[in-house]
Structure 1
C-alpha cells in the first residue's frame, strides 16, 4: 500500500511538472508583450495550481469557435462597406487638421474606415441630461433603434428608458438590444427581458456566461461598447452604461459614478450603426448592414471630422491602442487623460513618460477610490515613475470618475468606452471617437477643469515617503496585471 501511495505521489508530481512545463512553453511561444508573459509566468510559479487554471481561463484571446469563425468571415464584407465611405464628400482629408489626418491614415490602411466630416456633436455630462435626451429621441423614433451596452442595471431612469423602448416597439419601431451577459446579469434576472420580448423587441445576451464552457472561451472577454443608434440619424456613445447612478452600486462608499455621453448626427451615425451590426452578427449570425450615409454637406461650414475607432476580436489588433499612442505623440503643448482604471502596458507607460520628458504638460485624472481594489493598488504601482517623469496625477474625490477621455493640445480629443488597461486596449469590444472639433473639445476641456477642481494632486515628496506596506501591496497587485 505504501509503495502504491509512493508511485501515485510520483505520478502526480510528474503530471504537475508536465502541466506547468507545457503552460510555460505556451506562454513563452505566444507573441505578446514581454511584460505580460513575465507576469503570467510569475503567477503560474507563485500560485502554481491556481495560476495554471487562471491561464487556461484568462490567458489567451479565445472568442469561442463559432464566434471566431463568424468574425473572421465578416471582416471582408464589413471592410468593403467601410471602403465605400472613402468616396463620400464627407471624407475630405485635405481639410483635416493635423491630429486627425494621421489617425485617418492609420484606420483607413488597417480597416478601410475613414474619418468623416459634416457631423454635429453635443457633450452631455450629467445623468439627467443624458437620459432625458435619450428618452426624447426614443419617443420620436419612427423606424429603428439599435442599442449595445455592457451594463443595463434596472431601476430609476433605466426603467424609464426600458418603458420607452417598449412603447416604441408597440408603435412599430424595430428595436434591437444587445447586452453583455456578465455586465447586465441583473437585467436578465429582472422582469424587463420578458416584457421587452413580448412587445417585439429583440433582446440578445452577448458572450453568454456558461459554466460548462469556461475552458472553451475566455470569460473576461466582454462586450464593453455603449452605442445607441436611432432611425440611422442620431447616435450616442461614451462611458455611461444604461444605469441610474442614484440606483447603482449604492452599497459602496464610492459615491455616484461620473460619466459622459456624446450625441451625434451626420455621417458618423451610420458608422456607429455598422459597428452595432458587427456586434449583432458576431453574436447571432444575422447580417443587417445600414445604408451608406448621404454624405453631402456644406463644405463652407466647420467640418467637424470624426474618426470612429473600433476594436475587439476579429478586428485589426490593437487599433485603439495605436490611435491613442499616435495622438499622444502628436501633442505639442498638453495631454489630459481621464480614466477610472489605469493599468497601462509598458508601451503606453513609456509613451506617457516620454511625452512629459519632452516638455509636454501631461495630466492624469483618476478616481481616489475605485470599485476594484486590485486595480486601485495596481494603478498606484505606477505613480512613482509617472511623478518622476513630471506627470501630474489628480485623484478625483467627487465619486467614481468613470469618464474615458483624452484632450490633446486643447484642440483635439478622444472619447469613448476605453479604459487605460490592457483588458480594454487589447481584449474587449470597445469604441472610441477621435474628434477634430474645436468647440466640442473646448467643452470637454472645461469638463476636465471641473474634474480637477474636485481632485487633489498627488504630492511627489509625500508619495515617495509612503510606508513599506503600501509599496508591498502595490507590487503584489501589479503582478496580476494580465487579469486586471
Structure 2
C-alpha cells in the first residue's frame, strides 16, 4: 500500500529537487500572470509585476499578493461603496444648488479654467463653492497653532482624518485639547491610517477614556502579510463644527514643526485653513469614511452641515479620489490644469513618479512655451523613489521644464499654481501611488490672491534650491544613470 508514495519520492529524488522547485515556481508564476493580465490594469503596472514574477521565482508571487493593488479590492470596498453612494445622494441636492449659484454668478472668474471646472462637476460631482475664507499655512510652525486655536473653539464636533498620527509632543498637545473638548460634551472622532500611524494601546486607551472616538482605517494585524497597506488613507483633514477645515500635506508629528527641539532635518510643507462652504465637502468625505470604519450611519444634519456665515469669496472645489473611486479624479485634475495652462506652472512635490498622461502634459506645456518649474527633493526620505524620479528628469529638461532640487531640508509640500490663478494644495503627491492606490484629497482654488501667495512661497523656496541643467545631467556617470533606470522599472509599484 506504500509502494506508490515510495516510487513517487524516488522519482522526485532522481529528477532533482532544484529542478522540480524551479518548474513549480514557473507554473505558479504563469497562473498568477494570467490573473494579473486579466485584471486589465495599467500596462506599465502589468509589465512591472510580470517582471517580478519571472525574475524572482516564488518571491515575485509573494510580492504580488502582498502589494498587488487589486487583490480582494472588490471585497474590501463593497460595503464602503454602498454607504458612500447612500450618503452622497442625500447630500447631492444641496451640492448641486451651491454649484449652480456659483456657475451663474462667477462665469468670468472661472472662464480661464472652465474645462477643469466642468470636468470635475460632470465626471466627479465635485462642488464649486463661493463663500470661503482661505489662509495659507507654511510648515508646522504655522499649521499647529492655527489648528489648536480652532479646536479650542469647537462647540459641537471635531473630526480628524490622518495618514500619520504619531505619538509626539505636538500630538500630546493636540490630544490634550481633544480630551478636554470631549469632556465638555463635544463629539470628537479620529480616523487614523493603521499603516502610517504609530499609536500604542496606552495612547489610544487614554483617548477612549476621555470620550474621544478613535478608529483605524483598515486595521492591519500582520503588516508583512497584508496587502491592505496599499490602500492607504493618505488624507490629512480636520473639520471643526462643519465650519472650519484644514487640508494639505502636514501630518501630526513633531518632524513637521521646525521650531521643535531635536529636529535635525528642516521640513518644508504646506497646508490650508478654510472657512466656508468648501468645508462641507470635506465633511462629507469624513462621514462616509467614518460610517464605514465605525459601522455607523451618521446622517446629513444641520449640525454637520451648518449654513455658512462667511462673506469672503474664494471659489473652491475639494477634489478627492481613492481605490474605491470610479475615476482617478485627482490625477485628472492635475492633467486638466497642466493642459490648460497658458503662461506658467509651478509645481512642488516630494515624490515625482508621473504616469504617462502627466509626463506628456508637462512636456507638451513646456514645448508650447509655458514656463514650467518643478521643485523636488534634493534630500529624500526614500532613495529608491528618488532614484526612480531622477530617471524622468532628462526628457523633461529636453522639453524645457526647469527642475530644482531643494537643498535646505526635505520638501514635503504638494502644491501647484497655474497662470498665477489656479491653485492646488492637498495630500496628493504627483506619483502613481497617489493617483491609483491612496485615498487623497486636494483643495482646488480659482484665486489670484492665493495664487500670488503660493508663487511668493515658491520663489522663496527656489532660493534654497539647486537648478538642474541638461548638459550636467547628461554628464552623470553611467552607473548612476543605470541605477536610476532600474528603479524606474519598478516605479508603478513604488
Shorter-normalised TM range: over 0.9
Out of 5, 11, 15, the residue aligned to residue 13 of structure 2 is: 5
Secondary structure at the counterpart of residue 130 of structure 2: coil
CA shift digits 1:140-173 (9 cap, x unpaired): 1111000000001222222211111111111111
Residue 123 (structure 1) aligns with: 136
**What is the Cα deviation at residue 472 of structure 1?**
1.4
2:340 corresponds in structure 1 to 330
Q: What corresponds to 1:409 in structure 2?
A: 419
Give the structure 1 partner of residue 465 of structure 2: 455
- Matches of 1:159 and 1:256, distance apart in 2: 21
For the pair 1:77 / 2:86, whether they are aligned, the reply is yes
Counterpart secondary structure, 2:135 = strand
Q: How far 1:126 sits from its partner (Å)?
A: 3.1
| 1:416-440 deviations in Å (ceiling 9; x for gaps) | 0000111101111100111011111
**1:277-426 alignment to 2 at 5 Å?**
277-291=287-301, 293=305, 303-426=313-436
Counterparts in 2 of 1:102 and 1:60: CA distance versus 1, 3 Å: same
Aligned counterparts of 2:267 and 2:453: Cα–Cα separation in 1: 20
Q: CA deviation at 1:72?
A: 2.2
Change (3 A) 1:433 1:478: same
- Asked if residue 34 in structure 1 is aligned to residue 34 in structure 2, the reply is no
Distance 1:62 1:99, change over 3 A: farther
2:220 to 191, 209, 232: 209
Root-mean-square deviation (CA, aligned residues, Å) is 2.5
2: CA distance, partners of 1:272 / 1:283 = 17
Q: Is the 8 A contact 2:218 2:228 kept in 1?
A: no
Q: 1:164 to 1:323 in 2, by over 3 A?
A: same
Comparing 398-407 with 104-113, greater Cα deviation is found at 104-113
The equivalent of 2:3 in structure 1 is none
Q: How does 1:51-70 map to 2 (within 5 A)?
A: 51-62=60-71, 67-70=76-79
3-state DSSP of counterpart to 1:128: helix
Shift of 1:62: 4.2
Post-superposition CA distance 1:285-316 (Å, at most 9, x none): 21214436466789xx7631111111113222
Report the secondary structure of 2:40's partner residue.
coil
For residues 12-49 of structure 1, the C-alpha deviation after alignment (integer angstroms, 9 at most, x for no partner) is: 34432221111222222222222222222222222232
Query: SS of the counterpart of 1:364?
Result: strand
> Runs of 5+ in structure 2 lacking a partner?
1-8
Given the superposition, is the C-alpha separation of residues 282 and 106 from structure 1 closer, same or farther in structure 2, using an over 3 Å criterion?
A: farther
Q: Which residue of 2 aligns with 1:181?
A: 194
Q: Does 1:18 align with 2:31?
A: no
Deviations 1:321-349 (A, max 9, x none): 11110111110001111000011112211
List runs of 5+ in structure 1 lacking aligned partners.
none
Aligned to 1:229: 239
1:296–1:32 CA distance, 2 compared to 1 (3 A): same
User: CA–CA distance in 2 between the matches of 1:320 and 1:272?
Assistant: 15
Q: What is residue 259 of structure 1 aligned with on the other side?
A: 269
- How many pairs were matched up? 478
Is 1:477 aligned with 2:487?
yes
Task: Note closer, same or farther for the CA distance 1:254–1:336 as it changes in structure 2 (3 Å cut).
Answer: farther
What is the match of residue 43 of structure 1?
52
Task: State the TM-score, normalizing by the size of structure 1.
Answer: 0.92
Aligned to 2:157: 144
- Closer, same or farther in 2 for the Cα pair 1:437/1:109, shift >3 Å? same
Distance 1:68 1:252, change over 3 A: farther
Q: Aligned to 1:271, which of 277, 281, 289? A: 281
d(CA) in 2 for partners of 1:251, 1:44: 46
CA contact (8 A) 1:118 1:303 kept: yes
- Structure 1 position 175, deviation (Å): 0.1
TM-score by length of 2: 0.91
Q: Whole-Å Cα distance in 2 between the matches of residues 69 and 142 of structure 1? A: 35
Q: Alpha-carbon deviation of 1:364?
A: 0.6
CA deviation profile, 1:450-477 (whole Å, cap 9, x unmatched) = 1111101012111100001101110111
Q: Secondary structure at the match of 2:487?
A: helix
Q: Which moved more, 1:42-51 or 1:365-374?
A: 42-51
Residues 253, 18 of structure 1: CA spacing in aligned structure 2 closer, same or farther, 3 A cutoff? Answer: farther
Secondary structure of the structure 2 residue equivalent to 1:418: coil
Matches within 5 A, 1:160-179: 160-179=173-192
Q: Cα distance 1:156–1:251, how it changes in 2: closer, same or farther (>3 A)?
A: closer
1:86 aligns with 2:96: yes
Larger Rg: 2
User: Conserved in 2, the CA contact under 8 Å of 1:154 and 1:243?
Assistant: yes
Does 1:442 pair with 2:455? no
Q: Could you tell me how far 1:89 is from its partner in structure 2? A: 7.0
Residue in 1 that maps onto 2:171 = 158
Post-superposition CA distance 1:351-391 (Å, at most 9, x none): 11111111111111011011011101101111111111110
Q: What does residue 5 of structure 2 align with?
A: none
